[in-house]
Amino acid sequence: MAENLESSYYVLTAANGKEALEITHEKMPDLIITDVAMSEMDGFEFCKAVKTNVNINHIPIIMLTAKADAESKLEGLSYGANDYIVKPFSVEELKLRIENLLNLQYRQFEYFRKQFLQPDKIIDESENAQPDSTENLHQEFLNRIYNIIDENLDDNNFSVDELASELSMSRTSLHRKVKMMFNIPAGEIIKIYRLRKAAEFLKQDYSVSEVAYMTGFNTPSYFTKCFKEYFGKTPNKYH
């Protein structure tokens, strides 16, 4: 199977679920294919371990099994598997399933990227931003980030390090996860959220200086510079 996929993808292999979990943490792949029957840790245990870990739970998983009964399939899906293939199967079927999941990831990726890059897009923390998926891990994770930033909105010392700590993640893991999920640096998410909140405060007739400090910018001049870069106009001209 690995040989058949190597012509299209960079493939990492593991002898068992335990080893696969270590590789997943270290390499953070775009997609995982796992058999149910494995030594050390079976596919169900492995899937549960991935999907309950905030560092790697965004990675889609395809489960392979010889069991064709509905109960086994439901068990795999209950642990968070994104797709399920019963053996025997054709390589072409597997490739199509991989392509479909990666395309779904790309659509989610583009959806969130547009959210970040469109200044007048209202932040709605209850909005489900996954148009084609039954899962909402992306939006849930983003909402957690928003909530943490909001709690530290006026703290100009709040940085990616503090955000990672609040999320119980390392700085490196946060950067890698955010890059994979949204293709934008974690620091940019903090700045964009602050700028959008600043726009809301400006509409409430707070002064530019007040808003700058309320949203964690060191100086009104730096706030004005960032605001103009993002919104295309200065805070004084924003209504």
15-33 confidence digits (pLDDT tens): 999 999 999 999 999 999 9
Is the pLDDT at 123 greater than 70? The verdict is no
Using DSSP's 3-state secondary structure scheme, residue 83 falls into strand
Is the pLDDT at 168 greater than 80? The verdict is yes
Model pLDDT, residue 239: 62
Residue 93 tokens read as: 């079927």
**168 backbone φψ class: left, alpha, beta (φ>0; ψ -120 to 50):** left
DSSP state of 237: G
Q: For the segment 214-232, what is each residue's pLDDT rounded down to a tens digit?
A: 999 999 999 999 999 999 9
What average pLDDT score do residues 138-160 get?
92
Is the pLDDT at 126 greater than 90? The verdict is no
DSSP states along 107-154: HHHHHHHHHHH-TTPPP-TT----TT-S--HHHHHHHHHHHHHHHTTT
Model pLDDT, residue 77: 75
Model pLDDT, residue 235: 93
Model pLDDT, residue 134: 38
Model pLDDT, residue 47: 92
CB 129 within 8 A of CB 121: no
Q: Which of residues 148 and 87 earns the better pLDDT score?
A: 148
In CATH, 2-89 is 3.90.226.10: no
Q: Which of residues 129 and 211 earns the better pLDDT score?
A: 211
Is the pLDDT at 96 greater than 90? The verdict is yes
Model pLDDT, residue 70: 61
* CATH of the structural domain 121-237, one choice from 3.40.50.300, 3.30.1180.20, 1.10.10.60, 3.30.565.10: 1.10.10.60
Residue among 227, 219, 162 nearest 201 (CA)? 227
Q: Which of residues 62 and 119 earns the better pLDDT score?
A: 62
Is the pLDDT at 64 greater than 50? The verdict is yes
Q: Which of residues 134 and 136 earns the better pLDDT score?
A: 136
Residue ranges of domains in the chain: 2-89, 121-237
Model pLDDT, residue 87: 85
- What percentage of the chain has pLDDT greater than the value 70? 90
Same fold, 2-89 and 121-237: no
